[in-house]
Amino acid sequence: MSLEDRLKFNKEVERDNDILSKRRRTFIRTQKKLPETADIADDASFLTFSEEDKASIILPDMWSRIQGLLHTTLLRELMDRHPNLGSQKRKLTDAHISDDSDSESETRPAKSRHHAVLTRRDDVERTYGAGQVQPIPDALLITDAYHSIPISWLTNKALSVLNSFMVGGVVPTKRYTNTNYTSSITMWDISAIMNSILKVLIKAGMTKALIDDFGEYQEAVTNHIRLARMRDKREGQVIADGQLGRHERWASDHHGFFSLQKQKSGSYLDWRGLEAELREERNKSCYKFDLEFYVTRNRETLLEAKLKQFVGLSSSSGESLQNNQHTANQSFRNFSSAPTRPAHDSQSSPCIICAIQGHSIQGHDHAIHPKCLSNRKPLWAKKKVGKVCSLYNNSRTKEVCINYNYISKKPCTTAPISEFTAAPSAAATTQLLVGSVISSERPDCTLWSSVHPPLQYTDFSSTVNLRFSDPSFNTDLQRLFHYNTSPYEANTFDSMLRDSDLLGDYPLLCDNLRNGFPLSDMPPLASTVIHSNLTSCDQYRTEVMAYLDEEITAGQMSGRYTLGLPPPVERYFNPPFVAEVPYPTLESSFEADVYQVKPQGYCIQLGTSIPNSRIANAPPGTQACTLNIAKYHRTCPVLPSHKCWLVMRDLDGMFIIDHVHLFGCTCASGNTGMIGNAAVDIWRVKKVAPILKYEDNLNTFRTLTPDGTSA
């Protein structure tokens, strides 16, 4: 590998290690069996560089070209060795002078060999600390310990200003006397700096309480964790090797939570005020990091932001929001909520009732707007007082879930569509509007449709009681122990998550696809447990045995094995296993006519003519698709060490080993869990629309809009 390729490799390793380390520190410490100070080792190692490589890196031409490719450790090493690296002014040397050659000089005047051609250099703006790791001033550490500094002071450009102008009165300071000190101490005057009109402070962003750019926020996060580490040492904490002090641990957990929110770059302005508020609370009350509290507060904050985004702001409230930043500057403890984006323009996407652009579903008026489609077919739905109802439900009138049709998110509410303050209701029944028009660029949706807490996946790797295959096993048994029947391509997921900058949201997915998903925090097995089958298994013997045969044929189970005879099932697991009960899931028999079945007992309309009539009445150009959903929820491989919990005994006393997770297992949950969410997030980043996670009903279609585009 060339020098540049090795530098790029180390840069990628540093980025990936940082993402995984933050994620695991945030969530693994929540496990009761792990100490809170447990550190998580990085998964990859850096390539090393020889002294010759380092000498070539610091050459002026090479340094200016590859400085941005250096990972933090190497950059710090070179900066420590060469403090003025990259900052020397170019000297006027023979390299800048273009002399004539000896052969030509004889024909030119004698003065010509004394003339120099200077390289033109354009004027540039003065920058402070761009791309360089800045030291933390001692006065800043003391200021933060007593008053909690704004996050905007921790960017590299702000730290550069503090380091450059500490002496001379450019950055205001004040003296503070504490009984614990024999003399007064110096700290920054926060109020004076926030209200300063000095250009250098304004350009460094130090007169604002909040940071506008998510990239600069991440830069400030790194420096805040460094500051917390210094504070731990200054307080004299005894910190064991590989562990974190209390301030550094809190800062890592705090920023790890916010940095790993879904669609972090897009929603940063919505939660940056909450991040500052919780950091201020920590400084005042020393609260420990509480994941459940953070999730609740973040959900409330996003709900409020989406409410403002949807309903829009009046002119007076708009002026009030514009002054929020000024208010925060006067007293940065009173952080304002983020400025909201403008409400969605109803002109940009069509009404989902009549497919006509120019008005939203809320503005649809039966007295004014068309009563049928352009081809004289009936509309998709009708609008009643405060709600939208489907036309195709026989005698029953189902309310339409606008939420599900826009972004395929459950749950929704049954509140009138004009009441946009309704909170999400987990118990609300989701109804679907078939063929609703969805813009190719997903529109802003109603309040309850776009507010949902990000799923958090627990890392059970530290709780697994590892089991290994018996070395005496033959090739077939060795293969059986590690058998993975997943239909998903882990390497493709890994590549697309990296390209979409989503690896931090799903750090466990690719490893789980390759090695298997753990069941949960499973206890060690002291002995083999074999449960007796239920009497209902005998009642439905034919169906149960047929299902097991089908699973074995599909490769999702292996068997049948005996107990104590070759090949013995206990040898496969060695140590013990648990034999579960195969529960028959059959309902009492019923006639084929679906209308004889209680509708509340089934979530799909089995074999009715309703879906056909909906498709038949779809607008011209509508596209539909069908899915083969066989074994839909049986797609997540099980970690080999946990297969001992998924053994079944059939009605003939033979044992069967399951290789995939059970239906509805929360740690995997098929396409509706971690795998499906990752796929949906990747599609959204790539602007694929419409997106719908299939679950029981597929009720999204692509159709032609009046302007000729497909939606």
How confident is the model at residue 495, as a pLDDT? 92
Task: Read off the pTM.
Answer: 0.36
The token pair that represents 579 in the structure block: 């034999």
Helix (H) or strand (E) holding 199: helix 199-203
* Distance (Å, whole) CA 591 – CA 600: 17
In terms of Cα–Cα distance, which of 167, 174, 170 is closest to 196?
Answer: 170
Half-sphere exposure of 422 (CA within 13 A, CB side): 19
Distance separating alpha carbons of residues 527 and 521, to the nearest angstrom: 18
Query: Which residues of the chain are modeled with pLDDT < 50?
Result: 32-34, 36-38, 40, 42, 88-114, 128-130, 167-168, 181, 263-265, 313-348, 386, 390-454, 565-567, 581, 583-608, 669, 696-704, 710-711
b/e 406-420 (16+ beta carbons within 10 angstroms → b):
bbbbbbbbebebeee
Residue 205 neighbours by CB under 8 Å, 6+ apart: 152, 155, 157, 158, 211, 216
Beta bridge partners of 60: none
Residue 510, token pair as written in the block:
């690719």
DSSP 3-state of 634: coil
Q: Is 350 exposed, middle or buried (0-12, 13-18, 19+ CB in 10 A)?
A: buried
* Alpha carbons 449 and 459: distance in angstroms, whole number: 29
- What is the 3-class SS of 52-83, one letter each residue? HHHHHHCCHHHHHHHHHHCCHHHHHHHHHHCC
> Phi and psi at residue 302, in whole multiples of 5°?
-65, -35
* pLDDT in the model for residue 120: 64
Our measurement of the distance from residue 68's CA atom to the centroid of its chain's CA atoms, rounded to an integer in Å, reads 26
By three-state DSSP, how is residue 136 classified? coil
Domain boundaries, the chain: 3-88, 138-330, 344-446, 461-590+628-685
Per DSSP, 273 falls in state H
Identity at 588, one-letter amino acid code: S
pLDDT at 694: 56
Cα torsion through 566, 567, 569, 574, rounded to 10: 90
Helix (H, G, I), strand (E, B) or coil at 706: coil
How far from the centroid of its chain's Cα atoms is residue 72's Cα? 24
DSSP H/E element including 642: none
- CA 542 to the chain's CA centroid: 46
Cβ neighbour number for residue 468 with a 10 Å cutoff: 9
Going by their DSSP bridges, the two strands 578-580 and 647-649 should be labelled as: parallel
Both tokens of residue 230?
A: 């210094």
CB atoms within 10 A of CB 458: 16
Helix axes 264-285, 214-234, angle to 10 degrees: 20
What is the DSSP secondary-structure string of 244-292?
--HHHHHHHHHHHHHHTSTTHHHHHHHHHHHHHHHHHHHHHH-PPP-HH
Query: Whose CA is closest to 615, among 316, 387, 377?
Result: 377
The answer to whether residues 58 and 52 touch, using CB atoms and an 8 Å cutoff, is no
- Cα of first residue to Cα of last residue in the chain, in angstroms, is 47
Question: Do the Cβ atoms of 330 and 194 come closer than 8 Å?
Answer: yes
Eight-class DSSP state of 575: S
Q: What is the DSSP string of 3-28?
A: HHHHHHHHHHHHHHHHHHHHHHHHHH
Ordered DSSP codes for 152-180: GGGSHHHHHHHHHSSSSSSS-EEEE--TT
Distance of CA 514 to the CA centre of its chain: 21
DSSP state of 422: P
Is the C-alpha dihedral spanning 382, 383, 388, 393 positive or negative?
Answer: negative
Residue 15 CB coordination number (10 Å): 14
